[in-house]
C-alpha cells in the first residue's frame, strides 16, 4: 500500500498521502534489526524495499537507501542460493529437499523478489554504489527462471521440480514476465535472449484468463509450492498480470 500512496504523492504533492507510511518507515529505520530477522521470508523483498526507494525519491533523504541496502543484502546473504541463482522462501527450506530429492524454490516467492528488484531499480540513483549489484541479481535470476520455464510459457509452483505440482502457476508467471520485460525495456537484459521467454510467458498468461476475464491457475495464499486449478484466483495474481501488461505495452 505504501508504494501506491507514494506514487499518488508523486502525482500530487499532498503530504497527507505519505504521512502514515513515512512515520511507520521512520520507526523501522530508527530501531533497525538485521534483514534476516525482519525480512526473514523472501516475499518481504517486494513489500518493503520499493517503499524505501520511493521514499528516497520523494524526500531525497539518503537514510532510506542506506537502510534498504543493509536490509536487502543481509536477507540475500541468508536466503539466496548462489549455485541455483534463486531464493529460498525462508530458513525452513534451506538444505531440505522435497519428496523427489530436489531443492525447494517456490515460484511465487522468487517472483516477488524479481518484482521487488525492478521496483527498487526504478528509483535507485544511477550512481548509487550498489546499483550494479541489484542489476547483476536481476540478470542472475533472469537466467535461472528462463531455464525452467514451461513449454506453455508458464512456470510450475516448484521451480526445480515440476513433478511436485505438475500444473501451471500464474502469479509467478506474471511477476517473471513483468521483471523480464522491464529488464529488456531498460537495457539490463539482452533482448535477443529474453524476448522469446517474455512473449511465451505473456501468451501463457493470456491463455489463463477465462471468458469472464478472470485469471486462473493462481496458487492460493501459502508458503510453499502447492497445486493450482483453472478456477483459482487471488488479487496478487491479477496484480502481477497487470504489472506484466504495463511493461508489455512498452515492449517493441
Look up residue 103 and give its three cell numbers.
Answer: 531443492
DSSP strand E in the chain: where?
80-81, 86-87
The span from the CA of 130 to the CA of 120, in Å, is: 12
Catalytic residue, candidates 14, 26, 38, 43: 43
**What's the distance, CA 206 to chain centroid?**
20
Burial label for 231, CB within 10 Å (0-12, 13-18, 19+), is exposed
- Size of the chain in residues: 252
The span from the CA of 131 to the CA of 118, in Å, is: 11
Residue 231 catalytic? no
Backbone φ and ψ for 178, nearest 5 degrees, come out as -60, -50
| CA atoms 75, 129, 124, 190: torsion sign | negative
Q: Any idea what DSSP says for residue 225? A: -
Three-state DSSP at 155 gives strand
Closest CA to 175 of 198, 194, 144: 198
Give catalytic residue positions: 43
Amino acid at each position: 500500500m505504501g508504494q501506491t500512496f507514494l506514487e499518488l504523492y508523486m502525482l500530487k504533492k499532498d503530504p497527507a498521502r505519505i504521512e502514515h507510511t513515512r512515520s511507520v518507515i521512520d520507526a523501522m529505520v530508527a530501531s533497525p534489526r538485521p534483514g534476516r530477522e525482519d525480512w526473514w521470508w523472501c516475499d518481504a523483498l517486494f513489500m518493503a524495499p520499493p517503499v524505501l526507494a520511493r521514499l528516497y525519491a520523494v524526500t531525497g533523504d539518503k537514510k532510506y537507501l542506506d537502510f534498504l541496502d543493509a536490509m536487502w543484502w543481509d536477507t540475500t546473504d541468508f536466503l539466496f542460493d548462489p549455485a541455483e541463482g534463486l531464493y529460498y522462501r525462508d530458513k525452513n527450506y534451506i538444505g531440505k529437499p522435497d519428496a523427489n530429492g530436489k531443492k525447494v524454490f517456490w515460484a511465487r516467492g522468487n517472483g516477488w523478489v524479481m518484482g521487488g528488484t525492478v521496483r527498487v531499480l526504478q528509483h535507485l540513483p544511477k550512481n548509487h554504489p550498489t546499483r550494479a549489484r541489484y542489476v547483476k541479481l536481476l540478470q542472475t535470476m533472469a537466467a535461472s527462471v528462463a531455464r525452467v520455464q514451461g513449454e506453455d510459457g508458464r512456470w510450475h509452483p516448484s521451480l526445480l521440480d515440476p513433478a511436485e505440482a505438475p500444473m501451471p502457476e500464474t502469479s509467478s508467471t506474471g511477476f517473471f514476465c513483468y521483471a523480464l520485460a522491464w529488464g529488456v525495456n531498460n537495457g539490463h537484459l539482452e533482448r535477443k535472449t529474453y524476448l522469446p521467454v517474455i512473449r511465451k510467458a505473456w501468451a501463457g498468461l493470456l491463455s489463463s484468463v477465462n471468458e469472464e476475464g478472470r485469471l486462473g491457475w493462481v496458487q492460493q495464499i501459502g508458503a510453499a509450492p502447492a497445486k493450482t486449478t483453472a478456477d483459482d484466483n487471488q488479487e496478487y495474481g491479477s496484480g502481477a498480470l497487470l504489472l506484466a501488461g504495463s511493461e508489455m505495452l512498452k515492449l517493441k
